[in-house]
Amino acid sequence: MTDTLLTVRDRLLKKLDEEMDIRIQHFREQMRQLTSLQPTIRLCLLSASIFCSSASKLDFLQCYTDLLKRIQSLISMQCEKPQYTGELTVNSREEFNRALEPFLGLSSFLLCTSVSNGSDGNERNCGAISPKNSFVKRSGSSVVNGCQLLLSKYQLVVDLAGAFGEQFTKVETPLQQYNHEMTKLGKKVQELQRDLTLRRCIIEKDSMTDLIHRVGQHSAVVSDLQPQLQQIWQEELDRVRRQQVLFREKIEEIITLREKACHIVNAAKQFKPYAVCLAAVTSVIDHKRCHKPDPAPMETICQQINTLEPDSQQRIEAIEKEEQNRRLVQDQKRREEQMKIAAVKKSLKTTKEQKRLMKKSTDGKCVL
């Protein structure tokens, strides 16, 4: 056990050294990027201080484009956020617990990792703890990982659901029966002791042999089920570990998003004076951009129609007038199309058959 703990310690120290080297390199790269940004930042600060202290509005308008280009160039520079913090992420407690699992017989989830809670050693589940004791206590509470958890009937049903609960019931029911029989046996032993000491009677050997045989059968069943229960228990604990890892990752993502949101809010607050100043300058330069454009004629008519009441005479007249205008426009278009068709027909050449027909018609008129 000592050699295993020393091996785990050396491995963890090596891992910590590697992680520290990676973070030192990353921080040096961040410092180099920040140092490269210093000249541009100083130039922008100098320009801003000049404009804020002595520059007039006319100077500001003349140098507005250059200042905006410098600000955009500063914003467009890439400066990655530090991916690491000063806290090391090596979970030494979990590694030591996994190393102690083969020696202590149960999973590290049941090991006592909390030392500052002030509980005694007798109240901790360190070592070989039976599944019955880890789930249900006679006093109505259980001690898991050094924490007192009151279990209700509903929580007990939830905890014993699944394959583990099915295997657990195979042991629980006979165990209750044998517990009742052991209570009777205790009373019987007291009576036998009185028979031996006071009454001087002979003890029946068959009853004792039968009880010992039944207890041995139950012990054999428990021994057969112990590997299965241990495997199912270990799978459940591994699943809980994976869920805890996912939960920590989501918490870290939420913290990162919250920090990004704070940075964005701060940047927006810093850009607010510039936006107000640019809006004021734009209002002085171009009045059209600061006022809403006039609506189109059709939009004005629609707004007037919408503001009128449904049974208003003015609205009815406006609708009739609009309909009359639409019909006039359609008639005008139809006339123009007919005139175009007539002009095209006049421009077409007459064929020989048409000339012959026209000649016959003229000859017939002359005969008449």
- pLDDT, tens digit only, all 368 positions of the chain: 788 888 888 888 888 888 888 888 888 888 888 888 788 778 777 777 777 777 676 777 777 777 778 777 777 766 666 676 766 666 777 777 777 777 665 444 444 444 334 444 443 333 333 343 443 333 333 334 433 344 455 555 556 666 666 766 766 777 777 677 767 766 776 776 777 677 666 667 776 677 677 777 767 877 887 887 788 778 878 888 888 888 888 999 999 999 999 999 998 888 888 888 877 777 766 666 666 667 777 787 777 767 766 666 776 787 788 889 889 999 999 999 988 888 877 777 767 777 777 777 776 655 55
| Number of domains within the chain | 1
Alpha-carbon distance of 195 to 129, in angstroms, equals 38
Note whether residue 21 is domain-resident: yes
Structural domain containing residue 34? 1-90
Give the three-state DSSP class for 149. strand
Alpha-carbon distance of 211 to 218, in angstroms, equals 11
Give the three-state DSSP class for 10. helix
Q: What are the CA-CA distances from residue 110 to residues 59, 137, 150, 151 (Å)?
A: 74, 15, 17, 17
Query: Which long-range CB contacts under 8 A does 240-245 form with residues at least 24 apart?
Result: 240/109
Note whether residue 56 is domain-resident: yes
Note whether residue 49 is domain-resident: yes
Contacts of 34 (CB under 8 A, 6+ apart): 79
Note whether residue 16 is domain-resident: yes
Give the three-state DSSP class for 144. strand
Contacts of 96 (CB under 8 A, 6+ apart): 5, 8
Note whether residue 73 is domain-resident: yes
Global model pTM greater than 0.85: no
Would you say 103 and 3 are in contact if contact means Cβ atoms under 8 Å apart? Answer: no
Note whether residue 191 is domain-resident: no
Burial of 113 (0-12, 13-18, 19+ CB in 10 A): middle
Whole-number pLDDT of residue 135: 37
Note whether residue 52 is domain-resident: yes
Gyration radius of the chain over CA positions? 48
Note whether residue 335 is domain-resident: no
